[in-house]
Structure 1
Amino acid sequence: MYAQKPRARDLGIQFEGITGKYNAITDVKGVSVGHSTIISGNGKNELGKGPIRTGVTAIFPSGKKKKPLYANWYSLNGNGEMTGTTWITESGFLETPIMLTNTFSVGKVRQATLKWMVDSSWSKEDWWWAFPVVAETYDGFLNDIYGFQIQEKNVLEAINNTTTNKVEEGNVGGGTGMMSFGFKGGIGTSSRVLKFPDTTYTVGVLVQSNFGDKRRFRIDGVPIGKELKDTLNPKYKAPPKSRRKNGDGSIIVVVATDVPLLPYQLKRISKRVPIGIGKLGGIGANGSGDIFIAFSTANQEAYIREGKTTVETVSNDWMNDIFDATIQAVEEAIINAMVSAETMEGINGNKVYALPHDKLIELMKKYNRIK
């Protein structure tokens, strides 16, 4: 077990909504998350040798056997990649795990995931195919990204490490080398519990956060970025062909819920993710890959090969509460990623600092957000 890192609520930051047990995407029953984190070497970047600051994160929506679930996705700005989405649009189903990694490792992770699916007898069918969902953000400011460091063993490690309990955040898995709003970013998660007549549902979110312009960064309306504009700015020489400037970067957001939703409703959920991002100062910058996917663990018998089946869904009049929960969880997950992240030095001595907890608390008190 890992040591739980500080999270936003541990600093006294206030959020709306009721969280689940872990305040994580794993509060949605059946969802599991695992990481493989690769940190090695220091100093000058030697192509193919390091330093290495990268990894893989695996998200299993419903166990490690094929169990297609209703899903849909949305891109706020498409300077990024999430494989398998065209079939999700066409079929309405997510049929594979969701894997997160760095920009140049999408192919390797996709291939290794597919190989694992074959070797593990993912499907009981005699003949099947699948389009693994793999999403990315760019970690080339700290990592030897041009060295293609992710290997099959790292993908298998992430898959084998999956748990339905607490989720490690910050400099882990696919988020190892990421930065957000000028500070260290990475993996973050949060959840919200919704109470409807005669039933309770959960919405869980996981982010791989690597986006944002420091000047725009705010929490609960407090202009954190402006207040800290001269504090702990990243020290790096951008690698060749780098496109990161003026808030460019990327963020991948995965939304899970046990609310029985149809694909068109899940599309609506994924389109609310940008509101949570916008509350913190994200604008979907020109060079940013802001791509989101939402799935429901309900209606697990909806996927059939022949005949007809019966599914259930909730009224569209209930959607507002689900929208609200999604927005709240996205906002908190991003802040959790930053609060949990630690200062990291990578290639060529490039250094990205953690969001300073003491100064953050001081500012939130200054603006009367916490006592």
Structure 2
Amino acid sequence: MVQEPRRARELGVVVGTMPTGPLNAVTDVPGVRVGHTTLLDGDSIRSGVTAVVPEQLTGRRALPAGLFVGNGHGKMVGSTQVTELGEIETPVVLTATLSTFRAADALVTYMLRQPGREAVESLNPVVAETNDGLLSDIRARPVRAEHVLGALEEARGGLPAEGAVGAGTGTAALGFKAGVGTSSRLAPTSRGTVTVGVLVQTNFSGVLRVSGVPVRPEQVGVPAPPLSHRPEPPGNSCVIVVATDGRLDARQLGRVARRAVFAMARVGSDFAGGSGDYALAFSTAGTETPAAPESDLEPVFAAVLEAVEEALLNSLFMAGTTVGFRGRVRYAVPHDRMLDLLRAHRVVPQG
């Protein structure tokens, strides 16, 4: 069945009560851009690259950042320095597990080419991954430098593509096809409205929950994979990137990142031991003024929880059924049947 990709709100699934930004995307944070390179080759390659690029790095050496590792069964190049110094020096690149290291090298190339960095002799590239080996020939390591550079150089504002694109081309989550998703919230603080934007790469196990209702594949008519197909192992990871224009320091951003991982529970993550669950939060605000008072963090926490939940749902609802390596398949969430289930539980309006 082919269905039109639709975001959660287009389906009538509204997460939380806080207002979204104009695009309901990470790019609602001023200066944040997103680029994708999607790799589709024959029956075996379903992979790619996604880059989150803060324009503020053009004029600054680094931005304040915080990292939270929910479960460290993953690869995140640059994580120890982010934790130690509380900053990022580069855009954030997402890709497939075995392509992480080529992507990091390409990100260094990109940064060394930037104006004002002609004398740079040390750089901390930030690259994270999830494992797309279920649907893609991951051992082929199809991501090359030109694919990473393309995602970085073509990063734009506007609503980013979601679903099975970029780093989400070959991913699956919660029993369905997944991918990349995004969302945003506007948080009221003592210093005015703060924008919180989120982008996720989803590839983790558990039982999908939409508005608190379990949505299992068999409940919505999705057939079980043939016995000849490799079963989806528990875990397999989630990467969450949080951007904000709020003036938060590294410690506060670490607290924000922690809530981002917590939000995975809202959509049914089982937080398996084989999962690499990482959240990175950064601020684009200038450092001329003091960091926000702690009381301002409460609305930001609420914004992160809502935005991550919605971004995770968007990553699934915008993804289409994908057949990949060795004929393995992951089916999209069937929108109509899911909505029938949600209506039966009275959590979305009757159609």
Bin of the TM-score, shorter chain as denominator length: over 0.9
Match of 2:148 in 1: 155
Q: TM-score, normalised by structure 1?
A: 0.88
| Aligned counterpart for 1:91 among listed residues 66, 75, 85 | 85
1:318-365 deviations in Å (ceiling 9; x for gaps): 211111100000100000000000000001111110000011111111
**CA contact 1:270–1:292 (8 Å) conserved in 2:** yes
Identity among equivalent pairs (%)? 39
Q: 1:271-310 maps to which residues of 2 (within 5 A)?
A: 271-299=258-286, 302=287, 310=288
| Aligned counterpart for 1:191 among listed residues 161, 184, 190 | 184
Number of residues of Structure 1 aligned to a counterpart in Structure 2 = 344
Q: Structure 1 residues 268 and 236 mapped into 2: Cα distance closer, same or farther (>3 Å)? A: farther
2:141 alignment partner AA: F
Cα deviation, residue 189, structure 1: 0.3
Q: 1:1-371 maps to which residues of 2 (within 5 A)?
A: 5-16=5-16, 17-42=18-43, 51-63=44-56, 65=58, 67=60, 68-121=62-115, 123-124=116-117, 126-197=119-190, 199-213=192-206, 216-225=207-216, 228=219, 231-235=222-226, 237=228, 244-245=232-233, 247-299=234-286, 302=287, 310-371=288-349
Separation of aligned partners in 1, 2:10 and 2:243: 24
Q: TM-score, normalised by structure 2?
A: 0.93
Cα deviation, residue 199, structure 1: 1.6
**CA contact 2:240–2:261 (8 Å) conserved in 1:** no
**CA contact 1:182–1:233 (8 Å) conserved in 2:** no
**CA contact 1:35–1:173 (8 Å) conserved in 2:** yes
SS for the counterpart of 1:53 is: strand
1:6-31 deviations in Å (ceiling 9; x for gaps): 10111111221210011000000010
Runs (4 or more) in structure 1 with deviation over 6 Å come to: none
**CA contact 1:32–1:63 (8 Å) conserved in 2:** no
SS for the counterpart of 1:270 is: helix
Cα deviation, residue 71, structure 1: 0.2
Higher mean alpha-carbon deviation, 154-163 vs 59-68, is at 59-68
2:163 alignment partner AA: G
1:26 alignment partner AA: T
Separation of aligned partners in 2, 1:318 and 1:64: 25
2:296 alignment partner AA: W
Cα deviation, residue 181, structure 1: 0.5
**CA contact 1:38–1:52 (8 Å) conserved in 2:** yes
**CA contact 1:233–1:353 (8 Å) conserved in 2:** no
**CA contact 2:57–2:89 (8 Å) conserved in 1:** no
Instruction: Give the RMSD, CA atoms, in angstroms.
Output: 1.8
1:293-329 deviations in Å (ceiling 9; x for gaps): 0001112xx4xxxxxxx43211111211111100000
1:314 alignment partner AA: A
Separation of aligned partners in 2, 1:113 and 1:178: 22
2:250 alignment partner AA: P
Cα deviation, residue 137, structure 1: 0.2
Separation of aligned partners in 2, 1:210 and 1:144: 16
Separation of aligned partners in 1, 2:223 and 2:31: 40
5+ long unaligned stretches in structure 2: none
1:26-48 deviations in Å (ceiling 9; x for gaps): 00001000000011202xxxxxx
5+ long unaligned stretches in structure 1: 43-50, 303-309
Higher mean alpha-carbon deviation, 125-134 vs 5-14, is at 125-134
Cα deviation, residue 62, structure 1: 2.6
